[in-house]
Structure 1
């Protein structure tokens, strides 16, 4: 049903007709896509994380993991690593 929204709270509305990754990607590139919370499409479902990441408990460990994986991949020349948040 076009125009139908799922309201998460007063600041977040998700179109109800998002059923595929292509639908999600189109929405994520639109002006209607919220820029505040982290919103992902995983295994056919939309996941919303409303809590911001803590620098010491999320960002710093995640950065270390990404660096370690990136160093291994460079050394073995087997690919490229992109940290999360890339849209």
Structure 2
């Protein structure tokens, strides 16, 4: 279940980034992967997920992070080019 949450969070974040970046310009996937970094790490000992986002171009205006599959969907918006968010997983 926890891996499912991490997978869903990563897919949503990456899809949102790719859609927003490609709608503004004709960047290819390799260029995007050099500019944008997204990572989600599950720490089972602490029952947390640490999600990291960094846009090296610093052109990000808004990022919406949603984690589905939890008892209550996690939703948070960020208005900077990078963030690290720690989410507690109660399972």
Q: TM-score, normalised by structure 1?
A: 0.23
Point out the structure with max Rg over C-alpha: 1
Q: TM-score, normalised by structure 2?
A: 0.22
**Higher share of residues assigned strand:** 2
